[in-house]
């Protein structure tokens, strides 16, 4: 049994393959996950709900399967594109582009707390140019670790308002991922505990009163034992 992928919000899920069949395991707040992580290797290919395994050691994808992964992400440069600003608590901002009509989805996929659609352009190439112009001052990337460190914080309203004031806002967004944390979650790679929620690629699980933030991409490729049910950390420490 192997974790071979994940689906982002609004209906986050882990994709778990067992002997070629793929099961979608919803990451619903309040439910428990109890996978013990084993060895990690390439997640192979999922197509039409079937999984082709790959024994290559590189995870989440080996060079053969990484190409397929990137194909989907860079395709679709034609047609109208939108340029947007994204805000992550407390005050980390970026500019991004996506296909027109996909701004809200894209912001949610990234786990943004705020968003503003600021421009619509004829195609992806123009969008990239605008992105890189604005990116010189705003930035184009926010690391997952940076998002994680702000997960328990609120957005700095003044800083966001100042940024947005420099642009013509077509639509603005404010997201609530349905959970609030009292303190910064502990970074960890595990698939067990009570699910608090998912924000972008970050899954928050709680064990014994401690909240852990897991980058879902870091789970892809792990062989799992579905009945592992180990308390966070303890089993991995015991295993070594
Ligand atoms: Zn592979």
Maximum distance among all Cα pairs of the chain, rounded to whole angstroms? 56
Instruction: Say whether both 170 and 188 belong to one domain.
Output: no
Q: What is the pLDDT of residue 74?
A: 52
Rama region for 49: left / alpha / beta (φ>0; ψ in -120 to 50; rest): left
By CB atoms closer than 10 A (0-12, 13-18, 19+), residue 216 is: buried
66/43 Cα distance (integer angstroms): 10
What residue has token string 């060895």? Answer: 39
Ligand 1 center to 81 CA (angstroms): 32
Per residue in 82-103, pLDDT tens? Answer: 999 999 999 999 999 999 999 9
Interacting residues of 75 by C-beta distance below 8 A, sequence separation 6+ = none
Instruction: Say whether both 125 and 53 belong to one domain.
Output: no
Ligand 1 center to 221 CA (angstroms): 10
Question: What per-residue string of b and e applies to 68-98 under the rule 16 or more CB within 10 Å gives b?
Answer: eeeeeeeeeeeeebbbbbbbbbbbbbbbbbb
Q: What is the pLDDT of residue 229?
A: 60
Ligand 1 center to 59 CA (angstroms): 8
Instruction: Say whether both 214 and 161 belong to one domain.
Output: no
Instruction: Say whether both 140 and 165 belong to one domain.
Output: yes
Q: Which range of residues forms the domain containing residue 136?
A: 81-174
139/21 Cα distance (integer angstroms): 41
- Helix, strand, coil tally for the chain in percent (to 5): 25, 35, 40
**Four-point Cα dihedral 34, 37, 43, 46, nearest 10:** -10
Ligand 1 center to 100 CA (angstroms): 33
Query: How many structural domains does the chain have?
Result: 2
Query: Which positions of the chain have pLDDT values less than 50?
Result: 72, 232, 234-240
Instruction: Say whether both 184 and 147 belong to one domain.
Output: no
Instruction: Say whether both 149 and 206 belong to one domain.
Output: no
Ligand 1 center to 74 CA (angstroms): 20
**Other Cβ atoms closer than 10 A to 201:** 21
By CB atoms closer than 10 A (0-12, 13-18, 19+), residue 143 is: exposed
Ligand 1 center to 189 CA (angstroms): 21
Among candidates 155, 231, 159, 139, which has minimal Cα distance to 188?
A: 231
Instruction: Say whether both 68 and 91 belong to one domain.
Output: no
Question: What are 161's two structure tokens?
Answer: 């308002």
90/201 Cα distance (integer angstroms): 18
Instruction: Say whether both 64 and 97 belong to one domain.
Output: no
Final residue before a domain boundary, out of 127, 152, 174:
174
Ligand 1 center to 137 CA (angstroms): 38
Q: What is the pLDDT of residue 75?
A: 54
The kind and range of the H/E element at 127 are helix 124-138
Tell me the pTM: 0.88
100/113 Cα distance (integer angstroms): 20
Ligand 1 center to 54 CA (angstroms): 5
Final residue before a domain boundary, out of 174, 197, 227:
174
Q: Which residues surround ligand 1, an ion (CB under 5 A)?
A: 42, 54, 56, 62, 64-65
Q: What is the pLDDT of residue 228?
A: 74
Instruction: Say whether both 129 and 64 belong to one domain.
Output: no
């Amino acid at each position: 049994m192997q974790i071979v992928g994940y689906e982002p919000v609004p209906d986050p899920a882990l994709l778990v393959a067992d002997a070629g069949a793929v099961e979608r395991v919803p990451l619903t707040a309040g439910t428990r996950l109890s996978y013990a992580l084993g060895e990690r290797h390439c997640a192979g290919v999922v197509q039409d709900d079937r999984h082709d395994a790959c024994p290559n050691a590189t995870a989440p994808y080996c060079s053969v399967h990484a190409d397929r992964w990137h194909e989907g992400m860079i395709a679709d440069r034609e047609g109208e594109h939108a340029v947007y600003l994204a805000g992550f608590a407390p005050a980390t901002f970026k500019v991004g582009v996506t296909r027109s009509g996909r701004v809200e989805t894209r912001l949610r996929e990234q786990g943004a707390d705020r968003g503003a659609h600021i421009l619509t352009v004829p195609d992806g190439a123009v969008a990239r140019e605008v992105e890189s112009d604005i990116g010189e001052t705003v930035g184009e990337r926010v690391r997952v670790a940076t998002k994680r460190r702000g997960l328990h914080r609120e957005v700095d309203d003044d800083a966001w308002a100042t940024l947005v004031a420099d642009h013509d806002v077509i639509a603005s967004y404010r997201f609530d991922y349905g959970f609030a944390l009292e303190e910064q979650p502990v970074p960890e790679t595990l698939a067990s505990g009570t699910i608090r929620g998912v924000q972008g690629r970050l899954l928050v699980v709680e064990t014994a009163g401690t909240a852990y933030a897991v980058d879902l991409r870091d789970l892809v490729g792990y062989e799992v034992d579905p009945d592992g049910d180990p308390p966070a950390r303890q089993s991995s420490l015991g295993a070594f």
